[in-house]
Amino acid sequence: MNEKFEKLGFYPADILLPKDADMEKWAVVACDQFTSEPEYWERVEKTVGDAPSTLRLILPEAELKAPDVDARIGKINAAMDDYLGKDLFKTLRESLVYVERGQSDGRIRHGLIGMIDLDAYDFTPGSGALIRATEGTVLERIPPRAKVRRNAALELPHVMLLIDDPDRTVIEPLTAQASGMEKLYDFDLMENGGHIKGYKLSDAQVDAVADALTGLCSDAAMQKKYGVSGVAPLLFAVGDGNHSLATAKACWEEQKGKNPLARYALVEVVNNHDDALQFEPIHRVLFGVDAKEFAAEFKKFYPNATESKGEGHVIEVASEGYEGFVTVPDPKMQLAVGTLQTFIDEYLKTHAGEVDYVHGDDVTRQLGKKPGNLGLLLPAMGKEQLFKTVMADGVLPRKTFSMGHAQDKRYYIEARKIK
């Protein structure tokens, strides 16, 4: 391995790409998308047909609880072995891949694909690891996902890691150099997924990436960005695929000493300052609650809260016959979502009701105004708050933000052997 990467927890990888596949049929969206829209996956199935496709190598999370899930996982493992046996892939030895992803809004997102050392990653809140989770990890979500990975010959990543690179030193230099790089693919993604191009980095470009990443985790960088010194640097924060990466970590812990390939996981790295990267809030809707009782208990929990839009953490409220705002001044948490989620968790311990996490302002208001419901709309988190909050609070509250629309999520293209 390139020695320049040894202290970064991130490395070039032996990346697999199909040799002659129809790439539009090969690439499918991340398995954790469209979980409530089985018709989406039915359309993908029809589009793919009998062609080689990553659809055969992944399990859509909509099917995680299917009664025949074990048989489906067996078919996935067999398909991996079949593709490897047919010599379907070419291998890019110790490589990094630069990606330009055209999104549904017309913007171009820039990424860098390589692998991380799972020993440098920790999802424990307050961890000092180089690679950290941004939100709380629900441990119960790991075992069913581990069943998919445990006996798999290949991994295909939908994990997106973020770097805090305001001076744009790591990925952005590659944009200007792309015309002279080896192009690996260039095609439209199915189901209105946009367009994607991939380029292989030269040895010199790989070294430049290592040098730039080293600069990001220096003490001088920590002082400049966060006003702290002598602390464990945070180089990568998990943006998407938190539970997928936690599953890879769990499987590595099981296989230590037996399977060195399992120590690493393929990821895409994106600069948090990429103009195409947009954070959208995830709102809360409570079902089966008494809105007036909820408001009274909220006031007890936060005695200084006011029914107005003021200074502090502002939350919009929508219920049957009511629309307004509540403000918690002088909050103890970094983000409004933390202030709200802390109360919701306590409230539901002793009161009836359920909470769901909803995208979109209008749909949250519509749901909240139905009898027995309560919609709570949160402000968008500024991207500049992400790393500072993880440094200060350990992790964000669960379901804090979403990065873009479902069709703009990662599509599976690259693969790597993990056994």
Residue 126: pLDDT band (50, 70, 90) is: confident
Is the predicted pLDDT of residue 2 greater than 80, yes or no? no
Q: What local confidence, expressed as pLDDT, does residue 287 receive? A: 93
Residue 405: pLDDT band (50, 70, 90) is: confident
Q: Does 374 or 144 have the greater pLDDT score?
A: 374
Mean pLDDT of the chain: 93
Q: What local confidence, expressed as pLDDT, does residue 247 receive? A: 95
Stated pTM of the model? 0.85
Q: What local confidence, expressed as pLDDT, does residue 64 receive? A: 82
pLDDT-wise least confident of 36-45, 99-108, 190-199:
36-45
Q: What local confidence, expressed as pLDDT, does residue 412 receive? A: 97
Mean per-residue pLDDT for 11-40?
93
For residue 182, the Cα-to-chain-centroid distance in whole angstroms is 28
Mean per-residue pLDDT for 350-368?
89
Is the predicted pLDDT of residue 398 greater than 80, yes or no? no
Mean per-residue pLDDT for 294-307?
96
Question: Under a CB-based contact definition with an 8 Å cutoff, are residues 217 and 8 in contact?
Answer: yes
Residue 77: pLDDT band (50, 70, 90) is: very high
Please name which of 69, 158, 176, 159 lies closest in space to residue 123, comparing C-alpha atoms.
159
Residue 335: pLDDT band (50, 70, 90) is: confident
Q: Which helix (H) or strand (E) holds 16?
A: strand 13-18
Percent of the chain clearing pLDDT 90 (strictly above): 75
**pLDDT tens per residue across span 164-206:** 999 999 999 999 999 999 999 999 999 999 999 999 999 999 9
Q: Does 357 or 295 have the greater pLDDT score?
A: 295
Mean per-residue pLDDT for 360-378?
93
Residue 330 burial (CB count, 10 A): 9
Handedness of CA 162, 80, 413, 419 (dihedral sign): positive
**pLDDT tens per residue across span 225-251:** 988 888 889 999 998 888 899 999 999
Is the predicted pLDDT of residue 136 greater than 90, yes or no? no
> Domain locations in the chain?
3-277+403-417, 280-382
Q: What local confidence, expressed as pLDDT, does residue 389 receive? A: 81
Q: What local confidence, expressed as pLDDT, does residue 381 receive? A: 82
Contacts 24+ apart (CB under 8 A), 298-304: 298/326, 298/343, 298/347, 301/343, 301/346, 301/347, 302/328, 302/339, 302/343, 304/328, 304/329, 304/330
Question: Under a CB-based contact definition with an 8 Å cutoff, are residues 86 and 355 in contact?
Answer: no
Using H for helix, E for strand and C for coil, what is the string for 291-309? HHHHHHHHHHHCCCCECCC
Q: Domain 280-382 is of which CATH architecture?
A: 2-Layer Sandwich (3.30)
Mean per-residue pLDDT for 388-414?
84
Residue 29: pLDDT band (50, 70, 90) is: very high
For residue 396, the Cα-to-chain-centroid distance in whole angstroms is 13
Please name which of 157, 71, 130, 203 lies closest in space to residue 413, comparing C-alpha atoms.
157
Is the predicted pLDDT of residue 393 greater than 90, yes or no? no
Cα(115)–Cα(93) distance, rounded to whole angstroms?
Answer: 12
